[in-house]
Structures are given as structure tokens and as C-alpha cells.
Structure 1
């Protein structure tokens, strides 16, 4: 059987991969290998490795790489640790192909190690733009270190080809995370309130904000202070915080969230991780997704719920009309929340079509993984567009 090794390092990435993992596991011609790493293994970030086990998956390897520091030095040392540890893991597991998703910094040493071991890499969600984060550089670097590509839309496919990837190795399949919407039995309002141990209000927002990794720590603190000042002006609104990731500045943001919730306990609650079921269930009942998470761009439009996207982290991504982009500014934040509650904007939401697809992407990925000649992937010619014209 063909051994497919899927690497997951964060709660958000795992949520997007879950249906693909199920389909690989249930395919009699494939053997699923899972490596759990990064924030999955950190109690500080919710120990979300346990969620993988609770969902019925066996984890072949747990690889600790996260140091108790989110400084540039700490992040770089984590990347070095990943390079060493994954070399040993790949040698032990002997996978036929590695599957990774997205643009996290820890993927760079992982896919580099796979290349040195001559194991092909399949990359999901390449070709996208996030100009306000260092992820922008990392995503394109992962593309160049991968041999097989699965993108969310034709625009992203063309961008991957533009980087010299062979067109016959780039496949437009939609966003695999949207498969969850077709398969999950989401919570009722009462079940969701019980799960978060707090009643919803007449107005509710789901808030996730990650550091803009092009900034220094002082800029991160200044920006998040302005955002909290805006949130403080919202009347009769429950703010459901999900905490930041392990990027540089993430721990600072989480500390500021804790301090805010402690002084606004009637109107604010926080979670290190909601998990995929509670998170997607929340999208049914909130008035808006606020912050700078990609979920506000990719998943929220499928629920016809508004997104207030703050700052530049997601700059460049294709957007539905349900998304309002604002600067890091308290007044703009309050104004945008008022806008989404107007009858005119709510009428617009009813007509929203998600440009990232409607699901059913995982099976397309599976079929390609099963039938691709993996030996051919070990040689990677550069596709020169200028010479093809």
C-alpha cells in the first residue's frame, strides 16, 4: 500500500486536514501515517494532539519542536530542532509521500528534510497571498520544495505555475477544509451555549487575531491595544476570543486577551482552542468573524456570516463580498460592526457565494495521490513560461 504521511502542527491546520485524513484512513489502497508536532503538543496552546486521538486517528510520531519562546531566536531554534527530528522520523517511517498544508514556519525544515531524503512532497493551499505576514515568503518557498500541488482556485493554480511548477503537477481542488461543512453535524444553539459554558447575547462576535509577523513586538502590542479599545466600545455584544498561535508576539496577545476577559467577564470569554466542531458551530450563531484569521476569509462566507478583517495579514487573498477590510483602528472597528448589522448588509450576505468552493475536495486529492507516479516526482524540471509562449 502507498504510505501517505500527513504532518500537522496546529489546531487550525488539523481542522482543515481532518476530512482528508479520514478519506486516506478509509481507503483500502492507502496507509495513513500522521506526525503530530508544534503547538499540538503544548499545554500552553491547548494540547490539541488529544483532539487528533479523540477523532479516532492513530498518531505514528509525536515530535516536540516548540520551545517556550516566541522570539525570533526561539522560532529559529524550533525550526532547527524540527530539521533534526524529522530526519529521524522519515527514516523510521519510510513514507512514499509527505502531505503538508499552508504556510507555517515549521514546514520549511520539514519539507527540506523530505527533499534531502528524496521523499516527494504534496502541498495544499499554495499560490495564495498574505502580504502582511512572513507566511507569504514561507508559502512560496514550500511551493518550490514541493513536487505536487493542490490549490483552492484557478487564480492560485496559475500563480504556482508562474513560479516554475509543471502545470500537470498542479491541481485546482478547492479548499479541503470546507469538506467539514458537508460532513459535520454541527451543534444546536443550546448545545453550543453548553459547550462554551456561557449564554449567547443578542449580538455575538467570534474573534481571532494573530500577530502580523512583519512587525516587531512593540508594534504588535500597540496594534492589539487599539483593537481592544474598539472592542470595549461594543454594547450588548458577547466577544468569543480564540487565542493567537505561536508566531512571534502570540504569547503577548494571549496575555492581553486574558487581562481583557478578566475585567470584562460579562461580555467576553476566551479559549485556547475551540476545536473544529465548536468553531464551525459558532459560525452559525455569531454576527461576525473579527480579527485576521484565514477562517474569516475561507470558511465564514459559506455560513453567509460577515467578516471584519483587520490589518494586512490576509492582504492579497481572494475575498467574498461578506468581508470588510479595515486598518488597525478602534473607530473603524466600531463602524464596521455597526455596518454589518444594517439591513442592507444583511441582505448582501444572503447572496454570498464562497469563492473557495463548496467542499468535496478531499476525494479529488486522494485520487491524485493514488494514481500519480511518485518516482517521476523525484525529478523536478523548471517550467519556464517565457519559453512556452
Structure 2
């Protein structure tokens, strides 16, 4: 029987996507039967968002990086940018002739990648389908990517059941609940004795735009910052994603001049997990509050409706864009001395990467028999 090395193109257009697949790529570097290349585009190439392609390069992964610019420094991705990504992906697939394109999550760039792969007749593996976030356009993109994919690696059982109910999905036997790669990595991170990041207790804050629901995220963010400072807490703020409306959030961030506010355009996975581990409070509307943050057990507040419908751990608190409710929650956590709690481990127990590698090796064996 002839030996076939599985060729996979991994796609990343944002820091969140790369942070998710990074632990898997690090393991694949040691797997001889799988050869991968990494397509890098989107906000990775923007100085405004930290030029995160440099962080990717510093990881020294074995897979070749294929990069191209897809949108301008001060713009959000729209139709022109969508077409740029899909056309480039189609050309790359035609040149590289991979067995599969591996697409993560639900960003518009990821959807454009799926369209490009589809028209080049390249089989898609979709990671992270079946989740729901009613308050963002990502919900639609995620659903459409799943419909274009043949294989589905999902992160939790609810997502698996959601996908099985999609009538247009071609093969419901190709849905695999493997959990989150990020969880595999952070479980090891939990046992490390990190030195304190800051001299004071701090809240970690990440807000993304929520234009689908026309929520005034920037205003509630500014009010929350002011109240945390009044309670003598330091704040670490990470930049939003590139969704339309990010400018208002960035404007609030850039006007902060208090010495107790620290701003990061990009922390990178290791530093981000260190911050999740040491933060006394985690506040915002990011999906990381649902997937990674609960495993560290610190108090979490999800604000607004951006993540409505997403599977939620019992330790996550939720409230609308109401500053009085937010103040009450902050006061409660301070009075309880930021009590830690055990999470439900909804996104796996540390076996996700090994399950994914086993599945990819199975796909490699299928290629041998074609």
C-alpha cells in the first residue's frame, strides 16, 4: 500500500483563531504522517491590532506560513475583503492541492475561506461548528461554514446536537465532539506557578462590538472602567476584534490615562492564559469567557446579548447593559473576596488534541484507499 502524507491547509484570520489551533499545530509538528501549512491573513497583518503575524512567526512552527493582506488598517471586513480572501484561498488550494482545509470558528474571514475552498473543490474540516451566539453576525457565518464542510470537529455536546439538527448537513455521521484544543493547553498552564503579573489585584476586560443588536458597548465599557477604578481595582484591557463598530471601543480604550489601566492589543496565548489565571474578575462579552476562562475558576461576568445562546458554565454570571447591575456584581465579588469556584468542564478534560490527531490519521488512511 502506498504511503500518503496528509496535506492540510490551516486558516487563521484573527488572533482568536490562531490561539485556538496553536496547541494542535504544536503537536502536529511531531506527527510525520501529517504535513500542514498555515494561511495567515486578516487582522494578523494589521499594526492597529498588534501585527500578530510576528507572534505566529516567533512560535517557530514547522508548517510554512502563506500570508496575504485582506483589508486595510482602519477598516472592518466587508464585501471587498471577503472577495479578496475567497479568491486567494481558491488560488492557494489550486496551487497546493491539499487533501483538506481546516477552518476554525465563525469569523467572516473564515467564511470567505470556506467559500474559496468550496469553489476549488477542496474538502473542508470545520472546527467549532454548532455553537450559537445570537448577538453577533458570527452565528450566520458559523452555520454557513458548517454547511460547506464535510467533517465537523465540535467542542461540546450541545454543539454536536445542534449540528445534527441542521437539515442541510450532508453527513451527520461525520460530527465528532472532541472538546477544545485551548482547554488541553490551559489545563497544563493551571499547574504552573506564575510570578505575579501586576502588583495590584486586577480585572481582565475584553469587549467586542455587538452591532447586530445595536448595543452601546462602548458606553457601558467606559462606565464599568470608571466604577472599577473607583473601587481601587486595576484593569487590564485587551483590544476588540475587527467587527464593524470596533472604532468606538478602541476610542474608549485609547482615552484611558489612569496608571491603573493597562492596555494590550495582543497578549498571545501564554500571556492571555496567565492573565485569566491571575485576574480577580473577568468582564466583557468575549467567547473566551465561556470556553477558557471558567477552567481557572475566577468570577466571570458576561455583559449584553452578544453571546446569547452559547452553552454557559454555571460559574458565569450574566447581565444586560445596565451599569447598576454591573456595579452590584462587582461589589458582591469584592465582598466575597473574589471567591473561586469549580467549573463544569463543558469543553473537555484535556483529550481534544489527541482525539483530533487520531481523526486526522483516520482521514489519512481513507486517502490511501481512494
* TM-score, with length taken from structure 2: 0.91
- 1:231 paired to 2:234: no
* Aligned ranges 1:91-106 → 2 under 5 Å: 91-106=94-109
Partner of 1:352 in structure 2?
343
**2:7·2:99 contact (CA, 8 Å) conserved in 1?**
yes
Q: Distance in 2 between matches of 1:107 and 1:160?
A: 18
SS in structure 1 opposite 2:9? strand
Q: Who is 2:254 aligned against? A: 258
Contact 1:70 1:247 in 2 (8 A): no
- Provide the rounded CA distance (Å) in 1 between the counterparts of 2:355 and 2:43: 29
Q: How does 1:190-209 map to 2 (within 5 A)?
A: 190=195, 193=197, 199-201=198-200, 203-209=201-207
Are the counterparts in 2 of residues 200 and 238 from structure 1 also a CA contact under 8 Å?
no
2:239 to 243, 263, 274: 243
SS at match of 2:202: strand
Q: 2:180 aligns with which of 175, 178, 185?
A: 175
Q: Deviations over 1:325-380 (max 9, x none)?
A: 0111221111111222343972xx4333221122220111111122126669x9xx
Question: Residues 227 and 60 from structure 1, CA distance in 2 versus in 1: closer, same or farther, beyond 3 angstroms?
Answer: closer
Matched-pair contact (CA < 8 Å) for 1:134–1:214: yes
Alignment partner of 1:32: what SS? strand
Q: For residue 141 of structure 2, what is the aligned residue in structure 1?
A: 138
1:52 is displaced (CA, Å) by 1.3
Structure 2 CA distance for partners of 1:94 and 1:60, relative to 1, 3 Å? farther
Cα deviation, 1:3-34, whole Å, max 9, x if unaligned, reads 01110111111111111111222101110111
Distance 1:180 1:56, change over 3 A: same
- C-alpha contact 2:294 2:343 (8 A) present in aligned 1: yes
Counterparts of 1:227 and 1:66 in 2: how far apart (Å)?
27
Distance in 2 of aligned mates of 1:338 and 1:200: 21
**Aligned equivalents of 2:221, 2:360: Cα separation in 1:** 43
Structure 2 counterpart of 1:336 = 329
Does structure 1 residue 64 correspond to structure 2 residue 69? yes
Q: Using the alignment, how far apart are the partners of 2:221 and 2:57 within structure 1?
A: 36
Q: How many residues align?
A: 359
Give the structure 2 partner of residue 274 of structure 1: 267
The alignment yields a C-alpha RMSD, in angstroms, of 2.1
Q: Which runs of 5+ in 2 are unaligned?
A: none
- Judge conservation of contact 1:147–1:169 (CA < 8 Å) in 2: yes
| Map of 1:307 onto structure 2 | 300
For the residues of structure 1 that align with 2:206 and 2:100, how far apart are their CA atoms? 33
2:54 maps to which residue? 50
In structure 1, what is the equivalent of residue 38 of structure 2?
A: 34
C-alpha distance in 1, partners of 2:98/2:65? 11
Whole-Å separation in 2 of the counterparts to 1:213 and 1:121: 29
Q: Distance in 1 between matches of 2:220 and 2:212?
A: 18
Deviations 1:50-88 (A, max 9, x none): 1111111243310210223435xx522110111221122
CA contact (8 A) 1:288 1:305 kept: yes
- Offset at residue 301 of structure 1 (A): 0.9
Tell me, yes or no, if structure 1 residue 88 matches structure 2 residue 91.
yes
Secondary structure of residue in 1 paired with 2:78: helix
Task: Provide the rounded CA distance (Å) in 1 between the counterparts of 2:179 and 2:60.
Answer: 25
- Give the superposition deviation at 1:189: 4.8
Q: Provide, for residues 274-324 of structure 1, a one-character-per-residue CA deviation record: whole Å limited to 9, x for no partner.
A: 111111001221112100111111111110111110101111111112111
Q: Please give the secondary structure, in 1, of the residue aligned with 2:211.
A: coil
What is the rounded CA distance, in whole Å, between the counterparts of 2:113 and 2:211 in structure 1?
Answer: 20
Instruction: Indicate the SS of the match to 1:298.
Output: coil
Structure 2: distance between partners of 1:337 and 1:280: 22
> What TM-score do you get using the length of structure 1 for normalisation?
0.87
Is the 8 Å Cα contact of residues 178 and 356 (structure 2) preserved in structure 1? yes
- Cross-structure match for 1:364: 355
